[in-house]
């Protein structure tokens, strides 16, 4: 949670220039930084977009797609909860060669998401890394898309905490290992990182538990529910434009 440090930009101040935003965080001298990804490091929902892309490109079989598409519509209608849906968007890859999934994720991200990266967040991670800050990505999107995306921010694959399944040899299984969303993000941070979090960045209410465990919390282009929460808790709000 934000401590009210005067060196950070507060949500009540006029919107800072991108460079001022970056500098305000560097002045905090963070040692460990965690980032949500979709909507925080880049605009849009890469997880949902990849879901449709891989069905269109035949990575997901027509039989699985026939079940998954109406299931996702139920989720959008509020009939399926966030954690369940995010888990199922990983387990639909059961039996698919993981290298094929990784290759598809790289092609998809390059073609559709890379152009929507927030430049100041990319600069921030680069400069934090130069100063010895440990960078982590925490996301409920599948680990293949997230790992591909965050390498552009200098976040190594071993520092990705995302929705993932166990492997059956070189193929994905339907056995979930983790779906970091809501309280699950804070739990994953405790279990995997196990260190105090200096700064955390997120864009939705599903990131709130993660933001709460950080010394300084930043709501990036927050959804309306998170924006209300950020204002109530004196978290910094910043709105980049892709």
The token duo for 170 is 């070189």
146 with 45: CB under 8 angstroms? Answer: no
Q: What residue ranges in 72-227 does DSSP mark as E strands?
A: 134-142, 160-168, 171-178, 197-202, 214-220
Residues of the chain with pLDDT under 70: 1-15, 242
Q: Tell me: the pLDDT tens digits for 82-110?
A: 999 999 999 999 999 999 999 999 999 99
**Distance between CA atoms of residues 242 and 236, nearest Å:** 19
The token duo for 25 is 């965080």
Closest CA to 226 of 200, 204, 207, 202: 204
**Distance between CA atoms of residues 157 and 186, nearest Å:** 19
The pair phi, psi for residue 107, each rounded to 5°, is -65, -45
Q: What is the pLDDT of residue 16?
A: 73
The pTM of the full predicted model, rounded to 2 decimals, is: 0.91
CA angle 150/152/113 to nearest 5° reads 75
**Distance between CA atoms of residues 38 and 169, nearest Å:** 29
Closest CA to 165 of 233, 231, 92: 92
3-state SS, residue 215? strand
Q: What is the pLDDT of residue 241?
A: 77
Beta bridge partners of 199: 33, 216
As a whole number of Å, the CA-based R_g of the chain is: 18
The token duo for 109 is 């991200």
Q: What is the pLDDT of residue 9?
A: 43
**Distance between CA atoms of residues 192 and 72, nearest Å:** 29
Q: What is the pLDDT of residue 242?
A: 63
181 with 206: CB under 8 angstroms? Answer: yes
**Distance between CA atoms of residues 72 and 70, nearest Å:** 5
Q: Tell me: the pLDDT tens digits for 13-29?
A: 456 789 999 999 999 99
**Distance between CA atoms of residues 225 and 190, nearest Å:** 25
The pair phi, psi for residue 222, each rounded to 5°, is -65, 145
**Distance between CA atoms of residues 60 and 194, nearest Å:** 36
């Amino acid at each position: 949670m934000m401590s009210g440090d005067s060196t950070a930009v507060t949500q009540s101040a006029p919107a800072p220039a991108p460079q001022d935003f970056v500098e305000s965080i560097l002045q905090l001298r963070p040692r460990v930084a965690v980032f949500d990804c979709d909507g925080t490091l880049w605009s849009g929902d890469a997880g949902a977009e990849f879901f449709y892309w891989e069905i269109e490109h035949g990575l997901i079989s027509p039989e699985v797609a026939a079940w998954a598409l109406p299931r996702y519509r139920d989720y959008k209608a509020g009939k399926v909860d966030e954690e369940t849906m995010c888990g199922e968007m990983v387990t639909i890859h059961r039996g698919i060669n993981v290298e094929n999934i990784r290759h598809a994720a790289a092609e998809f991200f390059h073609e559709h998401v890379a152009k929507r990266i927030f430049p100041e967040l990319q600069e921030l991670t680069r400069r934090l890394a130069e100063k010895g800050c440990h960078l982590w990505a925490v996301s409920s999107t599948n680990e293949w898309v997230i790992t591909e995306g965050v390498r552009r921010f200098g976040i190594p694959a071993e520092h990705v905490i995302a929705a993932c399944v166990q492997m059956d040899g070189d193929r994905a299984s339907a056995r979930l290992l983790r779906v970091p969303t809501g309280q699950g993000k804070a739990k994953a941070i405790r279990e995997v990182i196990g260190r105090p979090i200096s700064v955390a960045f997120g864009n939705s209410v599903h990131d709130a538990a993660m933001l709460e465990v950080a010394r300084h919390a930043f709501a990036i282009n927050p959804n309306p529910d998170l924006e209300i929460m950020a204002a109530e808790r004196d978290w910094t709000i910043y709105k980049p434009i892709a």
